[in-house]
Amino acid sequence: MQTPKTIIQKIWEQHVVHQEEGKPDLLYIDLHLVHEVTSPQAFEGLRMTMRKVRRPDLTFATMDHNVPTRQRLVINDPISKKQIDTLQQNCQEFGVTLADIHHPDNGIVHVIGPELGLTQPGKTIVCGDSHTSTHGAFGALAFGIGTSEVEHVLATQTLWQAPPKTLNVKINGMLGTGVTAKDLILAIIGKFGVQFGTGYVMEYTGEAIRALSMEERMTVCNMSIEAGARAGLITPDETTFEYLRGRRHVPQGEAFDKAVAKWRALATDEGAAYDAVVEIDAAEVEPQVTWGTNPGMCIPITAAVPNPAEKEKPNERDEISRALSYMGLEAGQLISSVKIDHVFIGSCTNSRLSDLRKAAAVVRGRKVSPTVQAIVVPGSYSVKLSAEKEGLDQVFKEAGFEWREAGCSMCLGMNDDIVPAGERCASTSNRNFEGRQGNGARTHLVSPEMAAAAAVAGHFVDVRQFTAQEVG
Amino acid sequence: MEPLRTHQGIVCPLNLTNVDTDQIIPKQFLKRIERTGFGQFLFYHWRFDDNGKPRPNFPLNDSKYKNASILVAGKNFGCGSSREHAPWAVQDFGFKVIIAPSYADIFKNNCVKNGILAIQVSEEQVQAIMKKAESEKYTLTVNLEEQIVFDHEGFEIKFEIAPYSKQMLLNGWDEISVTLGNEEKIKQYELTQN
Ligand code: SF4
C-alpha cells in the first residue's frame, strides 16, 4: 500500500519539474495572477534581458491597489496613474490578458480569480501579493511571491521552492450562532500567534470548515499569511465543485465531471501525517476584535484590552505597551467601550457578495451613528453589480453608508481612501499594522457583521446581542 | 546580482519584534516603477515625524550607526505584505546583512534574490549582539563560506543557511538563467500536461 499523503504533498508532487540534490524543487506554476504594484519591475527585467512571458495563457492581470473608488476613471495621483498605465502597456507588449480598470471583470485580484473560475483545485497559483493564500480555499496550492519571483515565473512558468512542512489546523466542533469565519481565523491567530505558520503550508480541517461556504473559506485561507504561513488550504468537496460549476474558466459538461473526479482524488488520505498539528474548539470562539497592531492581538468582544503589567516577560510588556500607546487605548479597558470614527467594509478578506449581504442584514432599517463615517467597497465590479441587483446598495445608502466602486481601497490606502491620523476604524480587512490604513490610523479588525453593528452603535458591540435585542 | 562572500560593517540595533513590511516601506512609496531609490523611505514613519523631521530616538538617526551595514532585529522580521520594495529599501539604504531570530518566509526569499544575507540565529545570540550594538559602536564580520559571524574580541557564532541560498549569494547568480538551463525539462513537463 502507498503511504497516505496530504493534499499538500499530492499537489506538490504533481508539479515538480525537476529535482536535484542540494537544491529546492523546480515547481511548475499553473496560474500566475499579476497586479500593478508588484509587477512593473518584473516586466522591466524581462525587457532588459530580452525575455518573453513564457505562458501568457497562464498569466492573468488586474489592477486593484491604486484604483479610485469614487470615480473609477479619475486618478488624481500622477504616480498612481503611471503605475496603472504601466501595467496596461506591459500587458499589451507581452500579450497578457488584463482585467482593465473599466473592464467588467475588474476587481481585487483575490476576488476575481475565484469569480472567473481561474482558481481551481489542485492548481499551483502565485501572485506578487501575500494574500494569494486566499485561493487555497479551493484546494489549490496558492502563495504570495516577491517581484523577483514574479519575473522568474513570467520568464519560466516555474519557481524554485523547498518542499514545505505541513501543518494541520484542526477545528473541532461547530461555530456558535453569530460567530463568523473571520472570527474563527482571528481566534486561531490570537491563540497561536502571528508566527506559528512560518515555514509551513497549513491545511484547515474539521467539521466547522466543512460547514463553511466557499466565500467563508476564502476569508479563512486569506489570513493564513497573518499566521506566517505562505499558503493555507482546504480539501475541495461538494461545496467547492458547486461553486465552480459553470464558471467561465472551468471545464464544462463532461469535462467538468472528469475534472471533479480528479479534484476529489486530491483529498488528504486517511492517516496521512503532518509535520505539526494545532487544534481549536470552534465552540469556544466568540466574535473577535483586534486591539493592537498585529492580527494576533485580538480578543473576544466580551473581553478587556490586556494589561501589560500582568505579563511576566519584559519584552511582552513592552510589545503590549507600545501597541496600546499607538492605538490610544487604556490597559484593562473593555473593548466594547471603544468608540470608532470610521467603518470600512471591503478588502480581499471580506468584500464578497455574502459578506455584503450579512452586513446589510445588520444595518437594514438602522442608521449609521452620526459620529461615524462608513464606506462599503465591493471586492469586484461583478460583486458590486450583483449587490445592486439585490438592492443592497440601497440598504447601505439608506443607513448612511457610502457605496463605492470596487478595489483595495482603505485596506491599505494607496488610493485616496485613508483613515486620518489618530482616528479609529472598524475594518473588515486583514492587517491592523501601524499606519496600514493611513499614517497614524488606528485599525481594529472585525467581521462584516461586527463592523456593521459598530457603525450603527458608534462603538464595538456584540453583534449577537445587538441583533437579538433590536429585532426581538 | 553582486556576490557576497565576506562582509564587515557597523551594526545597527532595531530592538523590535514582528517588524512588518508596511513599517519597512510604507505604501505611499510603492508607486515607483523602478527597483532603485527606496532607501530614503526605509522605516519612514519611524524615522521621521509628521513634519518630516528625523526622530532623534530612532536608531537609524543616531550618528553612532551612520554607515551601518548590518541590521539586527527581533523575531519574525519582515512579516506581512510580500512587497519586495522592503528588501530593496533595506539594501538601498546600505544594509547588506540582517541578523534576527526568525523571518517571514516571503521576506527571507526576497532577500536572497537581492543578494541580502538574512542570518538566523537564536534569540539569545541576537540579544547579545543587540546589547553590544546599543551600548557602543559595534563592528561585526560575516563570513558566508564558513557560516560565521564574529567580532575582534573573540565573540563568534555559527549560523545555518540553506545550501541553495548560500550558493546563490556566494555566486551572485541570475536565477532565471539557471532555470532556463533546465528548459528542456520544463517543456517535457508541459507536454505531459496536455
Ligand atoms: S484588499 Fe488589501 S490585502 Fe487584499 S490585495 Fe488589496 S491591499 Fe492586499
Q: pLDDT tens, A310-346?
A: 999 888 899 999 999 999 999 999 999 999 999 999 9
In A78-97, the residues whose Cβ lies within 8 Å of chain B are 79-80, 82-83, 86
> Taking Cα atoms as reference points, which of A411, A395, A422, A398 lies closest to residue A340?
A422
In A44-63, the residues whose Cβ lies within 8 Å of chain B are 44, 49, 51, 54
Q: Which residues pair with A171 in a beta bridge?
A: A280
What is the B81 CA–ligand 1 centroid distance (Å)? 9
Contact of A313 with B123, CB cutoff 8 Å:
no
Q: What is the mean pLDDT of residues A151-160?
A: 98
Binding residues of A for [4Fe-4S] cluster, by number, are 348, 408, 411
**Pairwise CA distance, residues A291 & A314, whole Å:** 20
- Smallest CA separation from ligand 1 atom 2, residue: A411
Residue A164 DSSP label = P
Please give the number of the atom of ligand 1 that sits closest to the Cα of A414.
7
Give the SS3 label for residue A278.
strand
Q: What is the mean pLDDT of residues A290-313?
A: 96
- Predicted pLDDT of residue A74: 81
A23-50 pLDDT tens trace = 999 999 999 999 999 999 999 999 999 9
For residue B34, the number of C-alpha atoms closer than 13 Å in the C-beta half-sphere is 6
CB count, 10 Å around CB of A219?
28
What is the A408 CA–ligand 1 centroid distance (Å)? 5
Q: What is the mean pLDDT of residues A290-305?
A: 98
> Taking Cα atoms as reference points, which of A165, A128, A109 lies closest to residue A29?
A128
Q: What is the mean pLDDT of residues A236-261?
A: 98
Contact of A458 with A318, CB cutoff 8 Å:
no
Q: What is the DSSP string of A11-78?
A: HHHHHEEE--TTS-EEEE-SEEEE-TTTSHHHHHHHHHTT---S-GGGEEEE--SS--SSSTT----H
Q: Is A24 on the interface with B (CB under 8 A)?
A: yes
State yes or no: ipTM above 0.90: yes
- Smallest CA separation from ligand 1 atom 4, residue: A348
Q: Closest partner residue to B105 among A28, A86, A198, by Cβ?
A: A198
Q: Is B124 on the interface with A (CB under 8 A)?
A: no
**Ligand 1 pocket: which residues have CB below 6 Å?**
A 64-65, 108, 110, 129, 131, 347-348, 408, 411-412, 429-430
Residue A16 to residues A7, A13, A147, B50, Cα–Cα distance (Å): 15, 6, 22, 50
Instruction: Collect all residues of chain B within an 8 Å Cβ-Cβ radius of residue A198.
Output: 76, 102-105
Residue A320 Cα to chain centre, angstroms: 26
Q: Which helix (H) or strand (E) holds A166?
A: strand A165-172
In A175-204, the residues whose Cβ lies within 8 Å of chain B are 194-195, 198-199
In B59-118, the residues whose Cβ lies within 8 Å of chain A are 74-76, 79-84, 87, 102-106, 109-110, 113-114
Please give the number of the atom of ligand 1 that sits closest to the Cα of A351.
1
In A131-170, the residues whose Cβ lies within 8 Å of chain B are 144-149, 151-152, 155-158, 160, 162
What is the A109 CA–ligand 1 centroid distance (Å)? 8
> Given the C-alpha cell 515607483, which residue does it identify?
B32
φ and ψ of A144, to 5 deg: -80, 150
State how beta strands B6-14 and B139-143 pair: antiparallel
φ and ψ of A358, to 5 deg: -70, -40
**Pairwise CA distance, residues A262 & A290, whole Å:** 40
Q: Is B32 on the interface with A (CB under 8 A)?
A: yes
Contact of A173 with A207, CB cutoff 8 Å:
yes
Which amino acid is residue A466, in one-letter code? F
Contact of A84 with A101, CB cutoff 8 Å:
yes
Instruction: Collect all residues of chain A within an 8 Å Cβ-Cβ radius of residue B73.
Output: none
Grid cell digits, residue A248: 467561465
Task: Encode chain B (194 residues) as per-residue pLDDT tens digits.
Answer: 889 999 999 999 999 999 999 999 999 999 989 999 999 999 999 999 999 999 999 999 999 999 999 999 999 999 999 999 999 999 999 999 999 999 999 999 999 999 999 999 999 999 999 999 999 999 999 999 999 999 999 999 999 999 999 999 999 998 999 999 999 999 999 999 86
pLDDT at A385 over 80: yes
Grid cell digits, residue A9: 504533498
- Smallest CA separation from ligand 1 atom 5, residue: A348
Residue B165 Cα to chain centre, angstroms: 13
> Taking Cα atoms as reference points, which of A457, A278, A461 lies closest to residue A371?
A457
Q: Closest partner residue to A156 among B35, B82, B176, by Cβ?
A: B176
For B58-76, give one letter per residue: b (16+ CB within 10 A) or e.
Answer: bbbbbeebeebbbbbbbbb
Query: Rg of the Cα trace of chain B?
Result: 18
Top mutation candidate among A131, A219, A376 for ligand 1, by most atoms within 8 Å of CB: A131
**Pairwise CA distance, residues A317 & A394, whole Å:** 46
Residue B48 DSSP label = B
- Predicted pLDDT of residue A472: 34
pLDDT at A71 over 90: no
- Are B176 and A79 an interchain contact pair (Cβ–Cβ within 8 Å)? no
What are the residues whose beta carbons fall under 8 Å from the beta carbon of B153, sequence distance 6 or more?
none
A449-463 pLDDT tens trace = 999 999 999 999 999
Q: What is the mean pLDDT of residues A251-271?
A: 97
What is the share, in percent, of chain A residues with pLDDT greater than 70?
99
pLDDT at A467 over 70: no
Q: How many residues does chain B have?
A: 194
Pairs across A and B, CB distance < 8 A: 160
Closest chain B residue by Cα to residue A90: B33
What is the share, in percent, of chain A residues with pLDDT greater than 90?
93
Q: How confident is the model at residue A468 (pLDDT cuts 50, 70, 90)?
A: low
**Pairwise CA distance, residues A209 & B32, whole Å:** 40
- Predicted pLDDT of residue A471: 41
pTM of the full structure:
0.96
